[in-house]
Structure 1
Amino acid sequence: MSISQDRHPEWQYLDLMRHIWEQGDERMDRTGVGTRSVFGTMLRFDLRGDRVPLLTTKRVFWKAAAKEMLWFLTGSTNIRPLLEQGVTIWSDWPLAKYRQASGEDIAQKDFEARIVADEAFATNWGELGPVYGKQWVDWPTYQYGPDGRYEQGPGINQVAQVVESLKTNPGSRRHIIEGWNVAELDRMALPPCHKTYQFHVAGEGEKARLNCLLYQRSCDVALGLPFNLFGAALLTRMMAAQTGLQPGELVWTGGDTHLYLNHTELVEAQLAREPEGTPRLVLRRKPPTIFEYAFEDFEVVDYDPQGVLRAPVAV
């Protein structure tokens, strides 16, 4: 099913936001803030012609989302590489842990500066546990060693495996990158929200298209989803380039899809706006592997969003 070409694709997002705000089930949640929530949702975006699902009814900081995606692909679990690039979106969880353990009411900017300046401090307090990228490129395995003891084996690089399977067996129904490692959830600062990516090849030859379905078990629609849509589109574009396929469709589906009760001002302001324009994402080069992209390889053009809308992150 394709999106109607006479209606801006961003209306899907705004319709979802309005539906949750007006009809969602009001409930308490892990953070104690409270949400309005619906269960089981879907959005679809055409990625052909370099189209990218960047919201225009508010500014999405796509550069941070791109740097985060590249960070995932390194397998890193420490916020220091992100902070060195000015990306602070993962600071809240380590900061809360440090404040609780130390009793020090340190400001976020001071905490982040210390992470960047002090490698030992970053090692102790910048770790997030085996989140996203660790599972994507180094999923742990276990085996019996020569002495008969059960020990950790070589990690599995799911991303590399999917790239290879798309090239050699495009019709497979197993092109999946999974982040939900049940055995390691308790060690993660935050269990994966955008947890499962499945890829699908449609058509043949030069016109073969790469589609991606992202399943997100828990979705903060106001703050998280705009990042997640751009990140998934970027990953799909990189995967398509690496496998010689054309970009197809991004299908996003959500489990618990919610708006936080303290996001009233953002929601009402955004719903008063109308989408306009067609942002595009250009990949400037194709490196030898998907793990060798750099931020400078990406360019967003024709993006002229309306003003920034801010709201607090629920930790």
Structure 2
Amino acid sequence: MSRHPETQYLDLMTHLITHGDRRIDRTGVGTLATFGAMMRFDLSDGTFPVYTTKRVYWKTAVKEMLWFLTGQTNIRSLLAANVRIWSDWPLARYRKETGDDISQAAFEERVLGNESFANEWGDLGPVYGKQWRRWTDNDGVEHDQIATIIETLRTNPSSRRMIFHAWNVGELADMALHPCHMVYQFYVSCLGSGAPTLSLMVTQRSSDHLLGNPFNICQQAALLAMVAQQVDLTPGELIWSGGDVHLYLNHVEQAKEQLEREPRPFPKLTFARKPASIDDYRIEDFIVEGYDPHPPIEAPVAV
């Protein structure tokens, strides 16, 4: 009997608890960390790797991926979609620079209701979407890395250059958060024999194992499924490679609780339609069936 693919995630969590390197990190919270990890998930039968040992709010994760694909960098459109996972960083900046100890709910309400306030305080700088869709070179020319990937998949699927990334050294200082999932590389297998499949390897420099990784795996699988549909290929493998993989010290008890649970079958993903382009997907297009997770586990976000 084959091991449940989620076991890879749980084994890595166990390793962090038992052998993790205790470190003081940027946030001051502290972590148990390891350097270098890999997980592989087979999507070829429609499997959607949404972890089951705690509930993962997959719609929120996919909405964030759709937001990346728009190229936007302001949290206002995210909040309009009821996604609040990026609010902590602009809120912390607002409190620090103004001295106003505003609540998160009040801050978000002002961003939603006041466009000028949102423009001043809700922008995250040139984060993921800006780099993916509007990377600016030294001559001021913008490059749409996602469009280039899709065109290459259609015209030269054996290319070893189907890569996009977000680590733009010249703009890092202006980002609210440096890119964690940095490099995406696509690979088409079985060219010339059998039914070709599209795989994706993601290199992530920094991974919050309890809170961040479940979202990342889900949304990266969603991206692979979208791109595969656009270029008429079957999804193959999602391969995740982590650099500094860590468990925050105030997440250890929650991690131990999660490790007591047995994984359940992953759900399946299909699409309600084939959108005209990668820019036209909506959350309503994602049909996820058979997701029966254990209850959620709450934990604080380190900022």
Same fold (TM over 0.5): yes
1:137 match: secondary structure: helix
Structure 1 residue identity aligned to 2:47:
R
Provide structure 2 residue ranges, at least 5 long, that are not aligned to the other structure. Answer: none
User: 2:9 is matched with which residue: 13, 16, 19?
Assistant: 13
Map residues 46-195 of structure 1 onto 2, 5 A cutoff: 46-143=42-139, 152-153=140-141, 155-195=142-182
Quote the Cα distance in structure 2 between the aligned partners of 1:232 and 1:177. 13
For residue 72 of structure 2, give the secondary structure of its aligned residue in structure 1.
Answer: coil
How far 1:278 sits from its partner (Å)? Answer: 2.5
Contact 2:164/2:183 (CA < 8 Å) preserved in 1?
yes
Q: Deviations over 1:153-200 (max 9, x none)?
A: 3x1000000000011101010010111001100000001000110000
The aligned counterpart of 1:238 is 226
CA RMSD for the aligned pairs? Answer: 0.9
Q: Which amino acid aligns with 1:203?
A: C
**1:35 maps to which of 24, 31, 38:** 31
- Counterpart of 2:248, as a letter, is Y
**1:280 alignment counterpart:** 268
2:219 pairs with 1:219:
no
* Local SS of the residue matching 1:49: coil
Partner secondary structure for residue 206 of structure 2:
strand
Residue 304 of structure 1 pairs with residue 300 of structure 2: no
Query: Structure 1, residues 252-311: CA drift from partner, whole Å, max 9, x if none?
Result: 000000000000221110011110123111111111111111111112110010001011
Q: Which amino acid in 2 is paired with 1:13?
A: Y
Count of matched residue positions in the alignment of Structure 1 and Structure 2: 302
Q: Aligned to 1:48, what secondary structure does the other structure show?
A: coil
Instruction: Give the C-alpha shift of residue 204 in structure 1.
Output: 2.9
Counterpart amino acid of residue 58 in structure 1? K
Structure 2 partner of 1:149 = none
Cα offsets for 1:107-130 (capped at 9, x unmatched)? 101101111011111000000000
Structure 1 distance, partners of 2:122, 2:31, is: 29
**In structure 2, what is the Cα distance between the partners aligned to 1:43 and 1:224?**
15
Single out whichever of 199-208 and 130-139 deviates more from structure 2. Answer: 199-208
TM-score with structure 1 setting the length? 0.94
Instruction: Measure the CA separation in 2 of the matches of 1:299 and 1:16.
Output: 29
- Aligned 8 A contact 2:52 2:263 in 1: yes
Corresponding residue number in structure 1 for 2:184: 197
Distance 1:86 1:234 in 2: 19
The alignment partner of 1:310 has SS state of coil
SS at match of 2:245: strand
Query: Secondary structure, in 3 states, of the residue corresponding to 2:45?
Result: helix
Q: Please tell me whether the aligned partners of residues 51 and 266 of structure 2 are also in contact (alpha carbons under 8 angstroms).
A: no
* Superimposed CA distance per residue, residues 203-242 of structure 1 (whole angstroms, 9 cap, x where no aligned partner): 1367100000000000000000000001110000011011
Q: SS of 2:138's equivalent?
A: strand
Segments ≥4 residues shifted beyond 3 Å: none
Taking the aligned partners of 1:109 and 1:13, their CA distance within structure 2 comes to 33
Q: Report the Cα distance in structure 1 between the residues aligned to 2:15 and 2:168, rounded to whole angstroms.
A: 32
Q: Tell me if structure 1 keeps the 8 A contact 2:48–2:268.
A: yes
For 2:288 and 2:117, how far apart are their aligned partners in 1? 35
Q: TM-score, normalised by structure 2?
A: 0.98
